[in-house]
């Protein structure tokens, strides 16, 4: 039975500190503009009438997303060279940088913005689940760096048993699109996928 690894993101604990993003950038020496993990800041609000008064009902939370190593990946179907591939051992998706032509079609096809073009390497790069660390019994860099312990990484069945089956939260698109290997824990303000009552506050960062 093929293994499928995935991520768990606890949005109730995430403070948006960006340590996960920076730890990955530091470890893999990623250049400016390339972020394998991105922290989406989703905010919105409304006014609610209670008795004679109007009360603000504002919300703001962070969702830290890298690659979701989807079960039906859009990137691998899009890739014209087969460089973007799903590994048989662990179900993680990685780029063969010797085959990639840098056409950026995977970047257009991915609903989560995971594949990113590297202007210096001139090929696509992406979170690969730190698959080299798995045989060493270590978790990915981002998971180990998170000061809130809001991230986890394991076989997706293990994560689903531990944390549930939810993979949808705004501003992420519906999990029906690509079946991400992702488990999300909602925070008290969480809005469902497809929600339009809020806005992404940091579009230039992600």
Partner 1 sequence: MEHLSLVIFTVLAQASAGLCLMMVLMKLGGAITSQGVMAMGYLVALALLGVAGIASITHLGQPLRVMNVMYGLAHGSPLSWEIAAVTVFGGLAFITGALNFKGHPLGQSIALPLMTAVFGMLMVYAITQVYTLPTVRAWNTQWTLAQFMTSALVLGCVLGTTLLSFENKSFNMTNVMALVVIGIILLQLPLLTQFIGQLEGELSATLDSQLPLVRLLMLVAGCLFWLVPMLKGQPSVAFSLIATVLLMGSEMAGRAYFYDLLHLRLL
Applying CB under 8 A, the residues found at the interface with partner 1 are: 40, 74, 76-83, 99-105, 108-113, 117, 121-124, 171-173, 177, 200, 206
Closer to partner 1 by Cβ: residue 5 or 112: 112
Helix (H, G, I), strand (E, B) or coil at 125: strand
CA distance 68 to 129: 9
Closer to partner 1 by Cβ: residue 94 or 145: 94
Minimum CB–partner distance for residue 105 and partner 1 (Å): 5
> Which residue bears the tokens 């039975």?
1
Minimum CB–partner distance for residue 206 and partner 1 (Å): 8
Closer to partner 1 by Cβ: residue 82 or 147: 82
Closer to partner 1 by Cβ: residue 18 or 155: 18
Minimum CB–partner distance for residue 36 and partner 1 (Å): 15
Q: What are 146's two structure tokens?
A: 């998170």
> Which residue bears the tokens 């989560």?
112
Which residue, 148, 147, 151, 145, is CA-closest to 26?
A: 145
Which residue, 42, 6, 12, is CA-closest to 193?
A: 42
């Amino acid at each position: 039975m093929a293994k499928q690894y995935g991520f768990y993101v606890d949005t109730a604990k995430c403070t948006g500190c960006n340590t996960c993003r920076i730890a990955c950038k530091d470890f893999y020496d990623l250049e400016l503009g390339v972020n394998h993990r991105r922290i989406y800041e989703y905010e919105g609000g409304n006014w609610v009438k209670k008795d004679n008064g109007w009360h603000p009902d504002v919300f703001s939370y962070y969702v830290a997303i890298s690659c979701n190593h989807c079960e039906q990946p859009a990137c691998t179907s899009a890739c014209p060279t087969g460089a973007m591939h799903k590994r048989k051992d662990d179900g993680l998706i990685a780029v063969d940088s010797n085959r990639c032509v840098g056409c950026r079609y995977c970047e257009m096809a991915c609903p989560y913005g995971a594949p990113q073009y590297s202007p210096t390497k001139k090929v696509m790069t992406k979170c690969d689940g730190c698959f080299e660390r798995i045989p060493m019994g270590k978790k990915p860099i981002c998971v180990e760096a998170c000061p809130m312990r809001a991230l986890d990484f394991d076989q997706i069945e293990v994560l689903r048993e531990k944390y549930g089956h939810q993979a949808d939260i705004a501003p992420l698109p519906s999990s029906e699109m690509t079946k991400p290997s992702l488990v999300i824990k909602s925070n008290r303000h969480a809005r469902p996928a497809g929600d339009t009552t809020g806005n992404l506050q940091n579009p230039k960062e992600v």
